[in-house]
Structure 1
Amino acid sequence: MKKRKTEHLNLAFQSRTDMSEIDNRFIYEPMFSGHPKNNIPETVLAGKKQRVPIWVSSMTGGTDYAGHINRNLARACGEFGMGMGLGSCRVLLEEGKYLSHFDLRKYLGNEVPFFANLGISQIEKAIKNNTVDDIAAMVEKIRADGLIIHINPIQEWLQPEGDAIEVPPIETVQAFIEKSGIPVIVKEVGQGMGYESLKALLKLPLVAVEFGAFGGTNFAQIELERSTPERKRLYEPLAYIGNDAYKMLDYANSIMQSENDLKCENLIVSGGLKNYLDGYYFLQKSQFKTIYGHASAFLEYAREEYELLRDFVESQIKGLQIAYAYLKLNKEY
């Protein structure tokens, strides 16, 4: 106790806070709960239960390093009850390569949701070439619960090897759902989506819409970094077009209030969320059934030994437990 009190005295002046640092999104109510244990509500996605409302957003696949990352992420999802979306499975679909990087069910277990991933251009080609069954076979091969379709027109436009998108993505998504019968999640890859795009998607029988909002990893910017300096200079303004998660959730809630024919009930809020407090804010603010996703936050730890990732995930869950016990949403924010 003496040591602890001495540390408190020595650290007191270093630990002062300024009013500008306060997080005004929340009202702190310390009087009505003991320290929490199992106070995070379970969520259901694609008929699978998640013990915590956290989603590992799509990241990578198709290199030796990616295999290590995906196995670590899958282990964490299995241990803590999170859902997982794979990075693009195009290499597996077209070449049958790197199966071990995507065949992760043995690490995840059968209880949590697990989704494969392809870009809208691959879906468009499959419909045109009558090869939708190949996608269904790939999903079945890795024992996934469905498919994420990522919508990325700006990324494809800026990518040196990018594919031309010939059909409006909403038409392609709708046709794929009708032809395949595969459960589908639709997401963006860093720019997010506007009101009309969200409304159109929420009227389809999707498992979920994932934001992929502006403010997180920006794949348009990634493609520009891979380009020539001149091309980067000319097209960089496009990388700063988008909708952040706050704006997108306002859109979604407004759509919920104004439309009566929505068929999609679930949101995955992702893009720029830094920690459990951001996640808790969106969970409380949303009028949909909602979980939240991280990509780069997990990637930072998944590249190393599993124990580092495990400790990070555990800290996020414990922070979320404290939020559920003591924080109320400030209606003014």
Structure 2
Amino acid sequence: MEERKKEHIELAFKSRIEGADANRYFNYEPMLSPHHSGAPTPISFAGKRMMLPVWVSSMTGGTRSAAEINRNLARVCAEYGMGMGLGSCRILLEDRSHWKDFDVRDIIGNEVPLFANIGIAQLEKMLKDGSWERLEELVHLLRADGLIIHVNPLQEAFQPEGDIFEEAPINTLSRFVEKTRIPLIVKEVGQGMGPESLKALLQLPLEAIEFGALGGTNFTLLELRRQEDFDTKPFESFANVGHTASEMCAFVNEMLDSSIYIRTRNIIISGGISDVLEGYRLVRTCRMPALFGMGSGFLRYATGDYGKLKAFAEQLKKSLSLADAYLRLRQQPDK
């Protein structure tokens, strides 16, 4: 106890809160609940059961550290009941030597959902040449529960090796959902989607839409900074184009009040979610069944000592339990 009190004194001046953003959204009610000690309430997703409303999505594949990262992430997802999306599996369509980077079903187990991942540009080409069934074979061989299709027009446009879309992505997706029975997730890669794109997607029979909202890793900016042939400064404003996770939740909620027929089952709120209470708030605010993603938080601890990744997940679980016990969403004024 003496050592703990000494630490309190040393850290007191470093632990001052100048402005608490979460306080705008929650009432703190310390009198109404004990500390929760029971198991979390299970969540159904893609026919599987999750224990936390957290999605660990689309990190990496085909690099030297990919196997270690994916195995550690699969292990923590199995232990804490979280869903997982693999990084782009495109390389497996070309070179099976990287198979071990993605083969994590035995690690993650069969209880929680695991999704493979491919880009919309590859899907467009495979539909055009009639080889799209190879994607179903890929899902089957990985023993995955479905397929993520990532949509990234700005990244591809600024990438020196980028692919060119010949069709609008919504047309490609509409054709694919008519052909396949595998569960699908559609995601952006870091700039989110506006209301018209969300409206079009919500009318497709998708397992989920993943936001990939503005505020997280920005692949448009990343690709611009890879350029060496010209000054990229005049084009970097493209990296600021997009929509935040909070904006996109509001768009989805507005769609529920419209007359469109919504066929999508779930929302995955990701992109710039670095604070657990922000993810918790958005899941509670969204009127569709929702999970949230904290990709960078998990990736930071996914290499090296598994104990650090486990400690992060344990703190995340504890934080969600505390939020359930002591926080109540405030009524937000109409804007």
Give the TM interval when normalised to the shorter protein. over 0.9
Higher mean C-alpha deviation, range 111-120 or range 15-24: 15-24
Letter matched to residue 166 of structure 2:
E
Distance in structure 2 (CA, Å) of the matches to 1:94 and 1:296 = 28
Letter matched to residue 295 of structure 2:
A
- Percent identity between the aligned chains? 49
- Structure 1 pair 230–47 and aligned structure 2 pair: CA distance change class (3 A): same
Letter matched to residue 117 of structure 1:
N
Equivalent residue of 1:197, what SS?
Answer: helix
For residues 30-67 of structure 1, give each alpha carbon's deviation from its aligned partner in whole angstroms, at most 9, with x where no partner exists: 11111112363321111111011100011110122111
Distance in structure 1 (CA, Å) of the matches to 2:39 and 2:193 = 33
Q: Name the structure 1 match of 2:263.
A: 263
Listed as ranges, the matches of 1:47-62 within 5 Å are: 47-62=47-62
For residues 87-138 of structure 1, give each alpha carbon's deviation from its aligned partner in whole angstroms, at most 9, with x where no partner exists: 1000001222311111110110001000000000000001000001111101
Give how far 1:301 is off: 0.5
Letter matched to residue 325 of structure 2:
A
- Structure 1 pair 22–201 and aligned structure 2 pair: CA distance change class (3 A): closer
Give how far 1:12 is off: 4.8
Distance in structure 2 (CA, Å) of the matches to 1:92 and 1:249 = 34
Distance in structure 2 (CA, Å) of the matches to 1:6 and 1:125 = 63
Listed as ranges, the matches of 1:29-178 within 5 Å are: 29-38=29-38, 40-178=40-178
For residues 268-306 of structure 1, give each alpha carbon's deviation from its aligned partner in whole angstroms, at most 9, with x where no partner exists: 000000132111101110100000012111111102221
**Alignment length, in residue pairs?**
333
Distance in structure 1 (CA, Å) of the matches to 2:95 and 2:164 = 21
Letter matched to residue 132 of structure 2:
V
Asked if 1:280 is matched to 2:280, the reply is yes
Contact persistence 1:73–1:302 (CA under 8 A): yes
- Structure 1 pair 159–7 and aligned structure 2 pair: CA distance change class (3 A): closer
Equivalent residue of 1:258, what SS?
Answer: coil
Asked if 1:319 is matched to 2:319, the reply is yes
Q: Name the structure 2 match of 1:233.
A: 233
Distance in structure 2 (CA, Å) of the matches to 1:114 and 1:11 = 41
Equivalent residue of 1:172, what SS?
Answer: helix
- Structure 1 pair 47–16 and aligned structure 2 pair: CA distance change class (3 A): same
Equivalent residue of 1:288, what SS?
Answer: coil
Contact persistence 2:203–2:260 (CA under 8 A): no
Contact persistence 1:62–1:97 (CA under 8 A): no
For residues 123-173 of structure 1, give each alpha carbon's deviation from its aligned partner in whole angstroms, at most 9, with x where no partner exists: 000100000111110110000001000000000001010000000100101
Q: Name the structure 2 match of 1:302.
A: 302
For residues 208-237 of structure 1, give each alpha carbon's deviation from its aligned partner in whole angstroms, at most 9, with x where no partner exists: 000000000111111112112625224212
Q: Name the structure 1 match of 2:243.
A: 243
Supply the RMSD in Å over aligned alpha carbons: 1.7
- Structure 1 pair 36–170 and aligned structure 2 pair: CA distance change class (3 A): same
Contact persistence 1:69–1:302 (CA under 8 A): yes
**TM-score of the superposition, structure 1-length normalised?**
0.95
Q: Name the structure 1 match of 2:181.
A: 181
Distance in structure 2 (CA, Å) of the matches to 1:155 and 1:243 = 16
Letter matched to residue 79 of structure 1:
E
Contact persistence 2:22–2:278 (CA under 8 A): no
Higher mean C-alpha deviation, range 157-166 or range 10-19: 10-19
Distance in structure 2 (CA, Å) of the matches to 1:145 and 1:210 = 16
Q: Name the structure 1 match of 2:293.
A: 293
Distance in structure 1 (CA, Å) of the matches to 2:152 and 2:67 = 24
Higher mean C-alpha deviation, range 220-229 or range 243-252: 220-229
Distance in structure 1 (CA, Å) of the matches to 2:34 and 2:288 = 29
Distance in structure 2 (CA, Å) of the matches to 1:13 and 1:102 = 46
Distance in structure 2 (CA, Å) of the matches to 1:214 and 1:263 = 25
Contact persistence 2:274–2:296 (CA under 8 A): no
Distance in structure 1 (CA, Å) of the matches to 2:21 and 2:261 = 42
Distance in structure 1 (CA, Å) of the matches to 2:233 and 2:9 = 53
Give how far 1:201 is off: 0.3
Letter matched to residue 174 of structure 1:
S
Q: Where does the alignment leave 5 or more consecutive residues of structure 2 unmatched?
A: none
